[in-house]
Amino acid sequence: MSQADLSAEATIARPGTARDYLELLKPRIIMLVVFTALAGLVCAQGVTGVTMNPVMATVAILSVALGSGAAGAINMWYDADIDAVMSRTATRPIPSGAVPREEALTLGLVMSAVSVLLMWMSSNAAAAILLAISIAYYGWFYTMLLKRRTPQNIVIGGAAGAFPPVIGWLAVTGTTPLDPWILFAIIFFWTPPHFWALSLVAHKEYEKADVPMLPVTHGAKATRRQIFYYSLLLAPLALTPVLTGLGGWVYAVAAAGLGAIFVGFSIKVLRSRAGEPDAGAPERKLAMGMFAFSIFYLFAIFAVLLVEHGLGAYVPVGGLT
């Protein structure tokens, strides 16, 4: 669908509501981004002993939420043509005609500027610069350059969603030692198996929209194999915070258990025919089950870190710190 078609549709569409504008910001992604940024911020205070004024910390987290929303709006603006083609995304605010395309872009750009400004005011210039980089990474690098060009779009683009804990840490201390980059790596290696599990179910949609997702370009079998490899990488990687002292006993047990389940899921998916033309409801259910579990996995991993450092439940694993 061309931009002219979208404009024509927009003139006869329903008027946009506040809910449409909120949806434009991708609220579910905002929640995950805010949660991981908060974990980075709380862990930084717990590990380094540097404290941040609670009001400033709240504004810093709000900035991350605004930045994530801004990147989401820019993504929706650029992807409006392919969103209109896929049934999963056809009801989004722009293809449904509730929000004019140019308004989405304006909202995204204004929110980007406001989020970076607020981050700078509430914390420091370095955190503000990294926030600006992460918005540009998702809104420009991933959305405009990677997504429609390479099946590695999710792998490289995954870094965009991995920045928040580093930004949270940076906002407190002004530095980025190894620990926040470990959190970055966990999200980075979690993104491909998480997203490819969904794409095993939605690959026909991506094919229709001409988006080179891995199941479209390399087939379902190669995708299932890649999900397995990334899960094998992710599970031990998620244990490295225990080695640096970032994660304590609770974290060690949770990361080991959840990692084992994650790998178990990936083995089930590997052995299945999920994503194949003859795949039925059980295969779809399995792939969606892995997708849902992957969301729970990341929330749980960061929740445990939050509890350990925010609620004083941190008990170091002896001899390793």
Partner 1 sequence: MTQIQLTEEQLMAQKRRNRWLAFALVTFVVVVGTTTAIRLQNVDLSKSEGLYFDGSMDPGAGSAALDGAEDE
Do 269 and 224 touch, CB atoms closer than 8 A? yes
Measured N-to-C along each axis, helices 281-310 and 27-48 cross at an angle, to the nearest 10 degrees, of: 30
Q: Which residue has the tokens 């930045």?
A: 67
CB 118 to partner 1: min, Å: 6
Is residue 15 involved in binding partner 1 (CB under 8 A)?
Answer: yes
CA nearest to 309, candidates 61, 33, 45: 45
Per CB under 8 A, which of residues 65..124 are in contact with partner 1?
A: 114, 118, 120-122, 124
Euclidean distance between the first and the last CA atom of the chain, given in angstroms as a whole number: 56
CA nearest to 164, candidates 34, 255, 8: 34
Do 152 and 213 touch, CB atoms closer than 8 A? no
Is residue 281 involved in binding partner 1 (CB under 8 A)?
Answer: no
Is residue 16 involved in binding partner 1 (CB under 8 A)?
Answer: yes
Q: Tell me the torsion sign for CA atoms 208, 210, 211, 215.
A: positive
**Cβ atoms within 10 Å, residue 299:** 15
Interface residue with partner 1 among 1, 29, 34, 56 (CB under 8 A) is: 56
Is residue 13 involved in binding partner 1 (CB under 8 A)?
Answer: no
CB 305 to partner 1: min, Å: 26
23 CB-contact burial (10 Å; exposed 0-12 / middle 13-18 / buried 19+): buried
CB 174 to partner 1: min, Å: 6
CB 15 to partner 1: min, Å: 4
If the CB atoms of residues 54 and 277 are measured against partner 1, the closer one turns out to be 54
Binding string to partner 1 for residues 173 to 212, with x set by CB under 8 A, is what? -x--------------------------------------
Is residue 62 involved in binding partner 1 (CB under 8 A)?
Answer: yes
Phi-psi region of 315 (alpha: psi -120 to 50; beta: other; left: phi over 0): beta
Interface residue with partner 1 among 4, 12, 18, 281 (CB under 8 A) is: 18
Is residue 228 involved in binding partner 1 (CB under 8 A)?
Answer: no
CA nearest to 93, candidates 192, 169, 19: 19
CB 126 to partner 1: min, Å: 8
Interface residue with partner 1 among 55, 277, 281, 319 (CB under 8 A) is: 55
Interface residue with partner 1 among 9, 21, 253, 292 (CB under 8 A) is: 21
If the CB atoms of residues 4 and 18 are measured against partner 1, the closer one turns out to be 18
Interface residue with partner 1 among 59, 113, 250, 267 (CB under 8 A) is: 59
Binding string to partner 1 for residues 289 to 318, with x set by CB under 8 A, is what? ------------------------------
Interatomic CA distance for residues 305 and 309, integer angstroms: 6
Q: Tell me the torsion sign for CA atoms 160, 166, 170, 176.
A: negative
If the CB atoms of residues 110 and 295 are measured against partner 1, the closer one turns out to be 110
If the CB atoms of residues 177 and 219 are measured against partner 1, the closer one turns out to be 177
Is residue 9 involved in binding partner 1 (CB under 8 A)?
Answer: no
Residue 24's Cβ-side half-sphere holds a number of Cα atoms within 13 Å equal to 31
Is residue 53 involved in binding partner 1 (CB under 8 A)?
Answer: yes
**Cβ atoms within 10 Å, residue 49:** 8
Is residue 152 involved in binding partner 1 (CB under 8 A)?
Answer: no
Phi, psi angles (nearest 5°) of residue 240: -65, -30
Helix, strand or coil, per DSSP, at residue 47: helix
> Rule CB under 8 A: which residues touch partner 1?
14-18, 21, 53, 55-56, 59, 62, 114, 118, 120-122, 124-126, 174
